[in-house]
Amino acid sequence: MAGSGVRILPARPGDPKKVGPYRVVGRLGTGGMGTVHAALDPHGMRVAVKVIHPAQAEDPEFRARFRREVALSSRVTGPCLIPLLAADTEADSPWLATAYAPGPTLNQHLAAHGPLADGSLHAFAAGTAQALAAIHQAGVVHRDVKPQNVILAPAGPRVLDFGIAHAADGTSVTRTGVMTGTPGWISPEHYRTGTAGPAGDVFAWGALVAYAATGRLPFGTGTPDVVAYRVMSEAPELAGVPHPLRELVGQALAKDPDERPSAPEAAERCVALLAAQTTRVLPVATGTAAATEPTLVGSLIEAEWHIPALDDPAWHGRHSASRKRVTIAAIAVGSLIGGAVGGALALSPDSGSTDKNRSSATSSPTPTPTPTPTPTPPGRTLTPSNDTAPGTSTDTATTPTPTAQTDAPLTPRSVREALASVPDPAYTRAEDETQPLPGEWAASTRAETPEETAAAREIRDLAQAMLSTKGWQQSTPEVTFHHEAQTIVVTSGPVPQIPEDHQDMFRRIGEMAACTVASRHLREHPATWPYGRFSVHWLYGEQAGDAPVLGFGDAADGCSRETAGRWTGDTFGLVTAGIPSSAGDEIRVADSTVKAFQTAWDARAGEAGLEPLDAGAVQLGFDPVEHAMYVWAHEDGYGPLGGRAQQSHLTDIVEKTGCGKLLAEAEKNSGWQYDRYVVALYWGDEGEKQILDSGTCPGG
């Protein structure tokens, strides 16, 4: 929320009257991290003050991340950026403050006035490139360059959210970003491997400039999966971008990150183009280091910037006549609110929950990649593995099709009945809810018996089959065993930098694969199979001495989440479904199904008096863990899905039309695994997740 879209709202009961030296005069918004207050400093300067929610402030880990955010923000300075004015990370209610200035976001300006042109376009390109260059020079990766995060302030463009995603060393600052980025603004390498570096910011910058010049998204619109496919496989549409800016934008949008210019190089070239547009004499030596001096860049941008200033009249009655009017800088409300990541990749999984009861997983017939060897982490002594036949190298063995499917469904009752059927079951910790203890990961060993070897291979195959649908094959899961703890341990390969939604997806996949295999063994061999617990860990690097626990559970509880015999979706699956698919059949079905939803809604609109749905309002993704299609939309309470009747129409359309699509695909595609559906909404700026309906498709 920024710019002209931000209006001062009345303060609410309980809001502070003063934060640090700033007098609070109203609210600008509320987000997942805290509340953003409109305030004035002692001299009458307008500021935006973010105060962290009390529940967040009580969390030591969150407070540490907030300190890191402030530290990153304070070290990023430069033209077209938002300076941090002040902060108190140790207060009972931690806060930070930035300056405020009116102005629309790029999205708002394009909707109202159309594309930028001539000098304003070149000033936009130069200013945003300069901002990224300054961010990268400070050792920070933006990770979410998009139109909503650029404000067109009176003095030029301003890039928001510059310090709250990740440091260039991969250190996470906030958990609200998940796979930080928005479909169409994410680089090909981020889609393929989760890698998000400076080159990814440059890719998004190229898309941003093309969008500013044409009003069109360079990779088009559609479902997240379809856009992801175009980003990774197709050339951008750059018609309408003026030469020679088009050449630079095309290079920034190269599929190979090594072929893109750096942010400083892009900035220098843009400044040279901007100087050529300038009609008054400025002391700039284009093509040289002088062209990128902040003062001179600012002069160039101001000379060619033709965006009218906007203001909120509510400010004028809120500071006394004796206060001096001051020149306003720019606002970072978008970064303060914390709700700036949109689309399918915009929402974070609920943190801090292990959710042991997962849905049942049958074997996925999706082809899996060839596994690669996983280095032995320090501190672990792994015994030789029997996972492959004698003389077979693990780096060339072909992964077999998973075979964990059984004739009868695995339920908590069937597993516990099997354990109760023998007088002395091998697994004895079915009632033990103790979390994994420190040292269990380091003490686990590779498979030593034929049964362990077969189970390890089966778990890896199941996990890789699910991971492959999301194009995530850079790390072969490692499966080890801790005999004394009766625990199967699933560990990611060494991956130093990865979005947290990918970690959560790996957790769910690892839990489901281990639970599926362990529960089957418990039911079929209760007298001899000792492993009923499982834990999933994340290895951050080859030299890491430990791998933090992502999740754990007990296979004796079963792997199915049902209420009164009905399967239910959850927000964890919603986040996984938001990760774009790399499977061609899923992309195809998603695209055709969303179009069918639109057609069905339009048909009902005339009959039931429904408001029309904008193109792209409803999005769809697949969760391979629970074999479910997730359908979601964003709603602020005043849109076409704000009422219960409208939501009921949507869920009915999804169940009838969506399930019809899923079952039709299953009839012609023996590898199709999806027969469940979920309908969800994201509410307001905070993106609060609500599951409206879920279930198994009739006949599925």
Dist. CA 218–CA 238, nearest whole Å: 6
Q: Using the 8-state DSSP alphabet, how is residue 7 labeled?
A: -
The number of angstroms, rounded, from the C-alpha of 660 to the middle of its chain's C-alpha atoms is 29
In terms of Cα–Cα distance, which of 473, 435, 409, 500 is closest to 175? Answer: 500
Report strand pairing: 487-491 vs 533-537: parallel
DSSP notation for 656-674: IIIHHHHHHHHHH-TT---
CB 630 within 8 A of CB 569: yes
CB 475 within 8 A of CB 371: no
SS3 string, 52-102, reads ECHHHHCCHHHHHHHHHHHHHHHHCCCCCCCCEEEEECCCCCCEEEEECCC
In terms of Cα–Cα distance, which of 482, 486, 467, 434 is closest to 361? Answer: 467
**Secondary-structure percent of the chain, ordered helix, strand, coil, rounded to 5:** 35, 15, 45
3-state secondary structure of 573: helix
In terms of Cα–Cα distance, which of 88, 110, 100, 93 is closest to 336? Answer: 100
Look-up: residue for tokens 């108190």? 88
Contacts of 194 (CB under 8 A, 6+ apart): 179, 472, 474, 495, 497, 498, 499, 502
Which letter, b or e, does each residue of 352-369 get, where b requires 16 or more Cβ atoms within 10 Å of its Cβ? eeebbebbbbbbbebebe
For residue 104 the two structure tokens come to 């629309």
Residues labelled catalytic: 144
Give the chain's radius of gyration (CA, Å).
27
- Cβ atoms within 10 Å, residue 560: 18
Look-up: residue for tokens 């599929």? 255
| Residue 524 exposed, middle or buried by CB count within 10 Å (0-12, 13-18, 19+) | exposed
Contacts of 423 (CB under 8 A, 6+ apart): none
- Cβ atoms within 10 Å, residue 252: 27
What is the number of alpha carbons within 13 Å of residue 149 lying toward its C-beta? 32
**Alpha-carbon dihedral of residues 221, 224, 225, 229, nearest 10 degrees?**
50
Which letter, b or e, does each residue of 16-37 get, where b requires 16 or more Cβ atoms within 10 Å of its Cβ? beebbebbbbbbbbbbbbbbbb
In terms of Cα–Cα distance, which of 302, 82, 309, 107 is closest to 212? Answer: 107
CB 512 within 8 A of CB 361: yes
DSSP notation for 357-400: -----PPP-S--PPP---PPPTT--PPPP-SS-TT--TTTPPPP
Dist. CA 529–CA 486, nearest whole Å: 9
Dist. CA 15–CA 24, nearest whole Å: 8
For residue 275 the two structure tokens come to 């100087």
AA identity, residue 197: G
- Cβ atoms within 10 Å, residue 395: 10
